[in-house]
Structure 1
Amino acid sequence: MQEVFGRRDLIEPAKLKELAQRDDARGWKQVGSHLGAIAVTGTALWLARDTAWLAVPLFMIHGMLINFLYAGQHELSHSTVFSNRKLNEAFGRAFGFILLYPRDFDQIQHFAHHRYTQDWEKDGELARPPYTFTSYALWVLGPTYWYSRVRRILRFSAGVVSEPYILPKERPRVIREARLHLAGYAVIAALSLWAQSWAAVLLWLAPMVAMKFVHQLQNTIEHLGLPHNDVITQNTRSTRTNAVMRWMCWNMQYHTAHHAFPSVPCYNLSKLHQTIFTDHGRKPPQMTYLGFQAAVLRAFGRGRTEADYPQDRIWISDDTDLEPVAPPPSHRAA
């Protein structure tokens, strides 16, 4: 995951080397603050579980914090949080277990995504049909997201691996990993039944599943509606948002900078963005979370789907003039 999928002419090599340095203190600060926040909201939720007016907002915040652990899992897969690779792996596996998203599989899929960004045939995150309004809504809200995650763990546990980006030599590893996850979940379920406790549901599964849609705002904004080419500064979108969201998402809102140089740690992404874009008067594609979702709703209105839009240019942006690019189906020529 240390390969650089970006253009070297965007930044001086010495500056890139400086920004790519791991800082264990900052890594521990990011990991510790995120896990600490989860511990605080989890404790508060447990204590307030019988007080609805307080439990509901705590449930929502707690669920968001758990889901955004994926930003940490992603960064840990790049081995950029800590200087010690084993430490990155240990936390990455723990986060993957919590999120029902095994770390080895995610790393393989994500590697393919970085190397072949926006390539329908090879990008690990594009192993899906083009979105319709319904399929997009179900993915954002969570039903199909969780179905695919649980089904994959069960399928891998049964020894069935069909993803084309997983090489034959990698299949035993993801099968073993899925079986270990399944065994761990079975132990938690058995202990919960034995203790007659709903703690795992209240403090983990229910808030994580219910609040997935907030994390999906980040997952969907990064590439959808951008050209399917191999130019990082065109095919990857950054996000305009606030400091709290940047902390919770481990600075992945600077996504274009991350895709250009994935060896740079999350805590240096703002400086990387400044160096390769702002300092040179450049801007990557960028939108706000809600602005993006509004544009998607317009794009999929009147029966249109992702397949109705051109693959070689942008079709979701703040520019509302892009909306008529795909006419509604009833207006197309036979």
Structure 2
Amino acid sequence: MKRAEHGEAPLNEDFAAPGKARVDPDLLRSLMKKSDMAGGLQLASHLAAIACSGTGLWLTWGSWWGVPLFAAHGMLVNWLYAAQHESSHDTVFRRRWMNEWLGRVTGFILIYPRDHDRWQHLCHHRHTQDPERDSELVFQSGGRFSGWFSLSGLSFWRGLITNLVLHAVTGRKQPRYEYYLNADMERRVVAEARWHLAGYALIATLSVWSGSWAAITMWLAPMMAMSWTHQIQNIIEHAGMPFTNDTWTNTRTVRTNPLMRRLAWQMVYHTAHHTYPGVPFHRLAILHRAIVTVRGEEPVTSTYGEQFARTLGEPFRRPA
């Protein structure tokens, strides 16, 4: 399989482990067809939900009614990363520029610059569960409470903000962690970080000038406070899975309800996604069933509740 080495390498390579049963090529080609309508409807419904929760939060701020709306709004904003992730694979829309700008807008909202996220994610797909090269391993620190720290979102936000500031201020990548960035990628990541910081500084300036707290109450506070609701997805996908190059054994599928599947943009079918990353989100359920039929078995599957229990119980299962 040919894998491009430059910055615009697609995230749609076939990562099915050698020697494993594969989906019929004709079916796979049909599943890889993108749909502007499917992508547009999914994005519109997600943004509409954010608009509704945000409006409700604005109208009820300061009352007890605002508490559940604060939680719902923060959860919806965090799960907007599902759109950014899908845009990194260029599978939300048929046109590449539309995917790119969706990624840039969501990346700005989530303080997660698009180019850096995309290249980091490409490295993750190429080296999933490789302890030396996977850029997205969750429990890299190995500390006793690393799972709690990750689930809380504290390590997540610390990493995002640290990266953003270091890229913008030093003008360089972090060689120890960002080995996957070549010189051209590094320049683009630095420029992107500086544009992001300039945008955030402008919002802060306008907020102070106008005396408005909206950026905090409607955006930053709910997004950061509720990040744990999305962190469980980041953790459940690979945490505790074997260090192998077989997507069937190194990736976990999530068993959940239709509402959560839609909120996650169908990324709960994560084993199928890692096996064939070029298949758009709206066809992952079909792909999942096709792979199960070919293999004659279900992938490793868990619920969010089960993963919460595993993560919270992690410190008590480790030796002191």
Normalising by the residue count of structure 2, what TM-score does the alignment of the two structures yield?
A: 0.92
Alignment partner of 1:106 out of 92, 110, 117: 117
Identity of aligned residues (%): 46
- TM-fit CA distance, 1:6: 1.8
Give the match for residue 41 of structure 2: 29
What is the rounded CA distance, in whole Å, between the counterparts of 1:112 and 1:277 in structure 2?
26
Give the match for residue 250 of structure 1: 265
Give the match for residue 11 of structure 1: 23
Asked whether 1:86 is paired with 2:104, we answer no
The aligned amino acid for 1:295 is: R
CA RMSD of aligned residues (A): 1.5
What is the rounded CA distance, in whole Å, between the counterparts of 2:53 and 2:312 in structure 1?
33
After superposition, give the CA deviation of every residue in 1:175-200 in whole Å (9 maximum; x if it has no partner).
00000000000000001011100011
Point out where structure 1 has 5 or more consecutive residues left out of the alignment: 305-327, 330-334
Alignment partner of 1:146 out of 145, 152, 157: 157
- TM-fit CA distance, 1:280: 4.7
Give the match for residue 303 of structure 2: 288
Structure 1 residues 254 and 127: alpha-carbon distance in aligned structure 2, compared to 1, 3 A threshold:
closer
After superposition, give the CA deviation of every residue in 1:35-61 in whole Å (9 maximum; x if it has no partner).
11101110111011132x210000000
Give the match for residue 212 of structure 2: 197
Normalising by the residue count of structure 1, what TM-score does the alignment of the two structures yield?
A: 0.88
Q: Contact 2:147 / 2:312 at 8 angstroms: preserved in 1?
A: no
Alignment of 1:276-315 (within 5 A): 276-278=291-293, 280-302=295-317, 304=318
- Asked which structure has the greater RCO (Cα within 8 Å, sep 6+), the reply is 2
Point out where structure 2 has 5 or more consecutive residues left out of the alignment: 1-10
Secondary structure of 2:136's counterpart equals helix
Give the match for residue 84 of structure 2: 73
What is the rounded CA distance, in whole Å, between the counterparts of 2:220 and 2:158 in structure 1?
14
Structure 1 residues 47 and 296: alpha-carbon distance in aligned structure 2, compared to 1, 3 A threshold:
closer
What is the rounded CA distance, in whole Å, between the counterparts of 2:314 and 2:217 in structure 1?
37
Structure 1 residues 156 and 209: alpha-carbon distance in aligned structure 2, compared to 1, 3 A threshold:
same
Give the match for residue 54 of structure 2: 42
Secondary structure of 2:187's counterpart equals helix
- TM-fit CA distance, 1:10: 1.9
- TM-fit CA distance, 1:68: 0.3
Give the length in aligned residue pairs: 304
Give the match for residue 4 of structure 2: none
- TM-fit CA distance, 1:127: 8.2
The aligned amino acid for 1:16 is: L
Q: Contact 1:120 / 1:127 at 8 angstroms: preserved in 2?
A: no
